[in-house]
Amino acid sequence: MKLELGFIEIKDIQFSNESKVENGTLFVNADDVKAFVYEDDDVKACVKSVCFDIAKPGESVRITPVKDVIEPRVKVEGPGGEFPGVIAKVDTVGSGKTHVLRGMAVVTAGPIVGFQEGIIDMTGPGAEYTPFSKLLNLVMVCTQVEGVHQHEYEHAVRIAGLRAATFIGELGRNVTPDETKEFETLGIREGLEKYPNLPRVGYVHMLQSQGLLHDTYVYGVDAKRTLTTIIYPTETMDGAIISGNCVSACDKNTTYHHQNNPVVADLFEQHGKTLNYVCNIITNENVYLADKQRSSDWSAKLCRLLDLDGVIVSQEGFGNPDTDLIMNTKKIEQVGVKTTIITDEYAGQDGKSQSLADADPLADAVVTGGNANMVIELPKLDKVIGTLDYVDKSAGGHAGSLRPDGSIEAELQVEEPSLVISRRPCALLKYVKHSAPLAVDTDKCVGCKNCMKIGCPAISIREGKAHVDNTLCVGCGVCEQLCGVKAFHSTKKEG
């Protein structure tokens, strides 16, 4: 399968009465984009308002909370369209010609869910930790219709962002690209014949799919409903995989990351030179132990079936997915295929704690993304796009992260339980019947913050004491079991 990407360099973004790309400048009529976004019924029902802003590299601008980042593209030749199964019809993508508006992105922001969304700083020390500080960002700030469930709102904002990116991408349809590149992977027999002496290498791409708004979509299908399978690398590059993920910022693959996956890019760079890049194997990250076993079995089986010599395995998330990572790695090694894994670490602020929740001697080749528990300080910036209301609650933050002077102190990632393997459905999945919410006896609470380590969106710290948002609590009881002073109790009425 061969894909030609035509890169249109965007050097500036300006609001205008007319939407167009001209001489490297993207002109945007915000009202036209908004009208296109609101043509979707789910957006109409769940998104109260949408407004647009522009953030450029080097500006004293902070964007938060960030939901997704999307690179605008348009299919100009070949089957399918952008974001198949969601925006375009379900046709196989990854071939033909696609134009890319390079150097910019559409960013969805605003009070999305209220936890675990990230921060993009366009300047200062925070800019060093995000690739999006280098882009021209068209930011779409959304607000929620009152009473809409968080799952429905996340879906609507996801669609809104993809529709905005589709509108912007269409502006590049008739623009001559500044650069064109071709990417191709061959069939199994063709590859063997053309590269008989090169090692056969694949990419095992683990997709976040644990639920609780930790979701990834493949051709519009929630990845948790899929089995491990094979996909052409160019399908990933052409919008087949999108993010629906509200996982912590430093562990999150946005849609932009899927479109511009650096593992795919680096493997293509070496394809035909030092290795034969055969395919991607996409596998999900599960909650049930049986599902973890099934998916990892299939990953190893496909690696053996394809007669691969080696694979790169990357994970999204941490803690629970560490088990999926090690199960995949161990089983693939056991069928005779060499592995190298890519992961970040949670080693504590001093770097001395166990950095992964699982391990195995066969996982002996690791590329680390660094320690997510490292504490950083972000100075106050002149402008905020979105709101600072959720800084203390966002992953990596804590009560007092947002200082009175407007600066922020936070970890790159807040600590959570290292590993939870569930043998029943997650209580936060919307099809599961919920128990009565819990409440906190503030006289008993000592403010130790152990409950914050659960990572539950319903728990926060108010005036030094734990607080439960009863609109988010599903009564699972984990906090009650964890609390050493028995400050949590059910609100269920006796009798």
* Per-block mean pLDDT, blocks of 10 residues, the chain (495 long): 97 98 97 97 96 98 93 97 94 97 96 73 92 96 91 92 98 97 94 95 94 88 94 96 82 91 95 96 91 96 96 89 93 96 82 81 89 85 91 75 87 41 40 74 88 71 87 80 86 66
Q: What pLDDT sits at residue 217?
A: 95
Contact 438, 479 (CB under 8 A): yes
Alpha-carbon span 464 to 468, nearest angstrom: 13
Q: What pLDDT sits at residue 453?
A: 59
Residues in contact with 92: Cβ distance below 8 Å, sequence separation at least 6, in sequence order: 79, 80, 84, 235
Contact 222, 158 (CB under 8 A): no
Alpha-carbon span 210 to 288, nearest angstrom: 9
Alpha-carbon span 199 to 274, nearest angstrom: 8
Q: What pLDDT sits at residue 455?
A: 58
Task: Provide the Cα torsion 242, 246, 250, 255; round to 10°.
Answer: 10
Pairing of strands 96-102, 73-77: antiparallel
Alpha-carbon span 177 to 386, nearest angstrom: 33
**What SS3 class is residue 155?**
helix
The two tokens of residue 461 are 């710290």
What residues are labeled active site?
246
Q: What pLDDT sits at residue 88?
A: 94
Q: What pLDDT sits at residue 266?
A: 95
**pTM for this model (two decimals):** 0.82
Q: What pLDDT sits at residue 115?
A: 56
Q: What pLDDT sits at residue 425?
A: 43
Q: What pLDDT sits at residue 422?
A: 37
**What SS3 class is residue 161?**
helix
Cα dist from 127 to 56, 57, 378, whole Å: 12, 9, 9
Say which amino acid occupies 461. I
